[in-house]
Chain A
Amino acid sequence: MTHPFLALTDSDRDEMLGTIGVATVDELFRDLPEGIRLGRELDLEPALSEQEVFAHVAELAERNADASRELCFLGAGMYDHYVPAVVDAVLQRGELLTAYTPYQPEMSQGVLQAIFEYQTAVCELTGMDVSNASGYDGTSVAADACYVAKHATGRDRIVVTEATNPQVRQVVKTYATGFGLEVVEVAHRGGTTDPGELERAAADAAAVIFQQPNFFGCLEPAPELVAAAAEAGALPVAHVDLLSLGVLEAPGRYGAALALGEGQSAGNFPSFGGPNYGFLAARQEFIRRMPGRIVGETVDTAGERGYVLTLQTREQHIRREKATSNITTNQTLLALGGLVYLTWLGPQGLRELGETCLSLAAYAKQRLAERAGVEPVFATQTTFKEFAVRVGRNAREVVAAARERGVHPGYALGRDYEGMDDVLLVAVTERRTPEEIDRLADVLAEVAG
């Protein structure tokens, strides 16, 4: 019986078995002891045709309230930014989509040059000297940074601000168990971190991780936090949003040792959590401690410019147990989406996008206060595209009630922070319009306490 993903005819099979010198396909498995064989058919539902699979899986997709069906003000780490058609067009090129890690550079100049261009974009945005070809996501790259800091400083403590994305903190803690690192959190004071408090916590720390804008959407006094970390001899690590870097200062400019973050905002769909990409960039001095792939420029035997994977002695396939990381498969395709997206935006577009987010978020804050009587929690803080509001009753109930009216109003911060059960984190991207924001305000006026 044929299958769309096989080419074997009966005569092919007979001829191939003859060349091998066995009578049956079963004989090819003679090295498997009897006792460990399955000896029955897999208990799976019968095979379907493509058309049937499409119908079944599309029906599952229909049952989700995605951002095309529900007005979305959810953020908290992933955002409903617009992804232009050129991203899809490039990522669906089979030569890029179905290639693997460019170990053979002569077969892979397309991907290699694209990664080189991506590294350049990340370094331009963050003000760093070196970027890798991507990490898994915005959480795992933070754990990567801890490994870099542990080896660079010889210290065994990590400080992370409480205003950093809770998932980032959770993943850092998970990895820290294996790394032999202690993780200490520094509380926020009114929505941002106090540099003095941070400096005291950072004594003897390998790294200080903070987020800018932070999880509440507030702008941290980032240059002061970096200075506080550096004063304590810890590596300052900035977790940033690429899309904010048209209007916000590059972390390299204010002295961060590493800059990293979640790339989804820039060129990936939220896709229920992935795949997406984490970016990781550092100052030159850490180049040999970087995890993962790095592409470098060189020349070929004819003197023509070309690109190769470089400094591979850092990596697991050569340095094995002493490698800077175990990562091999990364998120190149999604990072390529990031490069295409950032190219699409250009410097002007990036700045405009940042300004639009700022304007819309400011408008939203004002409308929510005016129409729904919902006030910002950290009223004196400057925010970027996200802000926290008190909704006067349990925020999860507010979410449920608003969803019945076709609006997802945001993330209930009580899920992660004590004493914030009545706080909603509202994200406003350039995809939202003033009219949609008014609609949110109207709905909150109905459902907030």
Chain B
Amino acid sequence: MAPAESYPDDLKYHEEHDWARVEGEEAVLGITWFAADALGELVHFEPPEVGSTVTKGQSYGEVESVKAVSDLIAPLSGEVVEVNQQVVDAPETVNEDAYGNGWLIRIRVGEPGEAASLLDAAAYRQLLESQ
């Protein structure tokens, strides 16, 4: 059973339906409930390599359902320090728990100032309503 729609207040959001949780010098990235719901059950996660760099606004990987494929857009720039192996092995984890066990990668934040330009939960909700 898929969880109900939610957008936690402690996250920062990118308009391409990606989120970031800043934890000190690092950040955890994932996709929002909206994105996971639109794609349907995920069957594949193509992660970046640990040690590679991601750039805000650019694709760092892909997720796939049987009917769609979606670029993962980095909400922040930085260096990949960890890939969530649980999602590689069981991509549906993202549908079950988009903000918890369904995180995708952890980065060392390259440009701490970038977070300020992201949306907060209220602004992201507003964006969804306007679409």
- Min Cβ gap A105→B in Å is 12
Residues 286-298 of chain A, each 1 if its beta carbon lies under 8 Å from chain B, else 0: 0010000000000
CA distance A233 to B66 in the complex (A): 33
Q: Which residues from chain B contact A312 at a C-beta distance below 8 Å?
A: 66-67
Q: How many residues of chain A are within 8 Å of chain B by beta carbon? A: 7
28-44 of chain B: CB within 8 A of chain A: 44
- Min Cβ gap B20→A in Å is 25
Judged by a CB distance under 8 angstroms, whether B68 is at the interface is yes
Residues 27-40 of chain A, each 1 if its beta carbon lies under 8 Å from chain B, else 0: 00000000000000
Judged by a CB distance under 8 angstroms, whether B127 is at the interface is no
Judged by a CB distance under 8 angstroms, whether B64 is at the interface is yes
Judged by a CB distance under 8 angstroms, whether B90 is at the interface is no
- Min Cβ gap B93→A in Å is 19
CA distance A67 to B67 in the complex (A): 48
Q: Which residues from chain B contact A310 at a C-beta distance below 8 Å?
A: 66
**Among the listed A288, A313, A319, which residue makes an inter-chain contact with B66, where contact means beta carbons less than 8 Å apart?**
A313
CA distance A310 to B44 in the complex (A): 13
- Min Cβ gap B9→A in Å is 33
Q: Which residues from chain B contact A313 at a C-beta distance below 8 Å?
A: 44, 64-66, 68-69
Judged by a CB distance under 8 angstroms, whether A318 is at the interface is yes
**Among the listed A288, A318, A322, which residue makes an inter-chain contact with B68, where contact means beta carbons less than 8 Å apart?**
A318
CA distance A322 to B62 in the complex (A): 12
CA distance A318 to B64 in the complex (A): 10
Q: Which residues from chain A contact B69 at a C-beta distance below 8 Å?
A: 313, 318-319, 322
CA distance A313 to B66 in the complex (A): 7
289-324 of chain A: CB within 8 A of chain B: 310, 312-313, 318-319, 322
Most central of B44, B67, B68, B69 by chain A CB within 10 Å: B69
- Min Cβ gap B49→A in Å is 13
Q: Which residues from chain B contact A319 at a C-beta distance below 8 Å?
A: 69
- Min Cβ gap A161→B in Å is 34
Q: Which residues from chain A contact B68 at a C-beta distance below 8 Å?
A: 313, 318
- Min Cβ gap B19→A in Å is 23
CA distance A319 to B69 in the complex (A): 7
> Which 3 A-B pairs give the minimum distances between C-beta atoms?
A313-B69, A313-B64, A319-B69
Given contacts A313-B69, A319-B69, A322-B69, 12 further A-B contacts (CB under 8 A): A288-B44, A310-B66, A312-B66, A312-B67, A313-B44, A313-B64, A313-B65, A313-B66, A313-B68, A318-B67, A318-B68, A318-B69
Chain A residues close to B by CB (< 8 Å): 288, 310, 312-313, 318-319, 322
Can you report 15 A-B residue pairs in the complex whose CB atoms are below 8 A from each other?
A288-B44, A310-B66, A312-B66, A312-B67, A313-B44, A313-B64, A313-B65, A313-B66, A313-B68, A313-B69, A318-B67, A318-B68, A318-B69, A319-B69, A322-B69
